[in-house]
């Protein structure tokens, strides 16, 4: 039970504590406006594209998959978790794909994600799910980081990521690369190839596509920490969620992934709902991906028996 403050406890004594407590709730209004404008433009794009034929849809989906792989196969499984190794051509391809996604550069994305894994579901977790679904989904990008994220985040070593010249190149030229690959090319390719109007292409294959891919990624931090079963570790909130696996190219096997973050497949089920694993396996066939890390079956089984919730597969 918290002690009651006595008459001799002036309010001023509480001010620094209050300030400290609420510091992490500060809203970053610039980001709120950016997301408001983006979603308004995306909604306009959605209305515009509804009665259109297949061309913007097909191009939008293909371009979205490329950007998704830049996050899942690139920033997440390759650079952040080092779950496999990649030769230079593949690393360059994934870096380009990652620019299309425009979700912070590879170094920053990987740093936030390593902090998420190490301090998951605490104040030091950048998108701590205990602060609500919306906060874990996208609210965290509209708030100043909790002091614990900065303080404890310093203990997470990310120097290895910057040793890759491909990552350093992207970090150095990130703004022009993003302007070119996230906004200019997906607008102008439809204009050049089938004579689309510039504003139509900008709002649909440019903005709408970008916003949809953002939400697909964010679902991993929100929905896959909220809904689903926990066959490997029932003591954490990360869950197996087949819907997220579908929308996030295989990243919905999140209970497994938090239990075994070094597995290149983020799942024990191979290609099942896992386009990213298909892509990495295909790249391995071409000799571009190698040293793919997996978890032995007996280790998975022991973990399942020791800490799992008794369910067998994802639901």
202 or 253: whose CB is closer to Zn ion?
253
Residue 149 beta carbon to Zn ion: minimum distance, rounded to whole angstroms: 15
HSE at residue 185, side-chain half, CA atoms within 13 A, is 17
Q: What contacts 7, CB < 8 A, 6 or more positions away?
A: none
Closer of 90 and 238 to Zn ion (Cβ)? 238
The smaller minimum CB distance to Zn ion, of residues 105 and 237, is found at 237
With beta carbons less than 8 A apart as the criterion, state whether 99 and 182 touch: yes
Residue placing its CB nearer to Zn ion in the complex, 59 or 264: 264
Number of residues in contact with Zn ion under rule CB under 5 A: 1
Q: Which is nearer to Zn ion, 238 or 283 (CB)?
A: 238
Q: CB of residue 128 vs Zn ion: minimum separation in angstroms?
A: 10
- Rounded to a whole number of angstroms, the minimum distance from the CB of residue 127 to Zn ion is 8
Separation between Cα atoms, residue 270 and residue 77, nearest integer Å: 14
Structural contact between residues 162 and 168, judged by C-beta atoms closer than 8 angstroms: yes
Cβ-based nearer residue to Zn ion, 72 or 182: 72
In the numeric block, which tokens belong to residue 305? Answer: 């028996």
Minimum distance of Zn ion from residue 182's CB (angstroms): 23
Q: Indicate the residue among 63 and 253 with the shorter CB distance to Zn ion.
A: 253
Residue 258's H or E segment, with its range, is: helix 254-259
Minimum distance of Zn ion from residue 71's CB (angstroms):
11
SS (H, E, C) 135-166: HHHCHHHHECCCHHHHHHHCCCCCCCHHHCHH
Burial class (CB in 10 A: 0-12, 13-18, 19+), 3: exposed
In the complex, residue closest to Zn ion by CB = 238
Residue whose C-alpha is closest to residue 60's, from 93, 22, 100: 100
Site for Zn ion in 244-283 (CB under 5 A): none
Tally of CB atoms within 10 A around 132 = 12
At 58, list the tokens. Answer: 């097909």
User: What are the residues whose beta carbons fall under 8 Å from the beta carbon of 60, sequence distance 6 or more?
Assistant: 49, 186, 204, 205, 208, 209
Residues 214-243 that bind Zn ion (CB under 5 A): 238
The position carrying tokens 């371009």 is: 63
Q: How far is the CB of 23 from Zn ion (least distance, A)?
A: 24
**Nearer to Zn ion (CB atom), residue 238 or residue 245:** 238
Tokens of residue 282, six digits: 């295909």
Q: Which residues pair with 229 in a beta bridge?
A: 240
Minimal distance, residue 189 CB to Zn ion, in Å: 31
Say how many residues make up the chain: 315
> Closest distance between Zn ion and the C-beta of residue 135, in Å?
14
Residues at the contact surface with Zn ion, assessed by CB under 5 A: 238
């Amino acid at each position: 039970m918290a002690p009651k403050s006595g008459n001799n406890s002036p309010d001023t004594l509480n001010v620094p504590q209050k300030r400290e407590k609420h510091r992490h709730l500060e809203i970053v209004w610039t980001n709120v406006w950016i997301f408001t404008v983006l979603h308004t433009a995306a909604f306009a794009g959605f209305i515009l594209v509804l009665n259109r034929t297949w061309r913007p849809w097909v191009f939008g989906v293909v371009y979205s998959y490329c950007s998704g792989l830049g996050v899942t196969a690139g920033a997440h499984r390759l650079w952040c978790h080092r779950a496999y190794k990649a030769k230079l051509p593949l690393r360059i391809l994934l870096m380009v794909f990652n620019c299309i996604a425009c979700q912070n550069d590879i170094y920053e994305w990987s740093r936030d994600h390593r902090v998420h894994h190490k301090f998951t579901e605490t104040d030091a977790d950048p998108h701590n799910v205990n602060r609500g679904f919306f906060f874990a989904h996208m609210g965290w990008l509209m708030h100043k980081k909790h002091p614990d994220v900065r303080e404890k985040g310093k203990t997470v070593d990310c120097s290895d990521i910057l040793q890759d010249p491909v990552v350093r190149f992207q970090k150095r030229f990130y703004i022009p690369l993003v302007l070119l690959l996230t906004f200019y090319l997906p607008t102008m390719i439809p204009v050049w190839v089938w004579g689309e109007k510039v504003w139509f292409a900008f709002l649909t294959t440019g903005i709408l596509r970008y916003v949809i891919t953002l939400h697909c990624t964010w679902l991993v931090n929100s929905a896959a920490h909220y809904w689903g079963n926990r066959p490997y570790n029932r003591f954490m909130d990360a869950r197996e969620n087949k819907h997220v696996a579908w929308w996030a190219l295989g990243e919905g096997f999140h209970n497994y992934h938090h239990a075994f973050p070094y597995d290149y497949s983020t799942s024990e089920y191979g290609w099942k709902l896992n386009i990213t694993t298909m892509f990495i396996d295909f790249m391995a066939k071409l000799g571009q991906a190698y040293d793919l890390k997996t978890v032995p079956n007996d280790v998975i089984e022991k973990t399942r028996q020791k800490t799992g919730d008794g369910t067998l597969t994802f639901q």
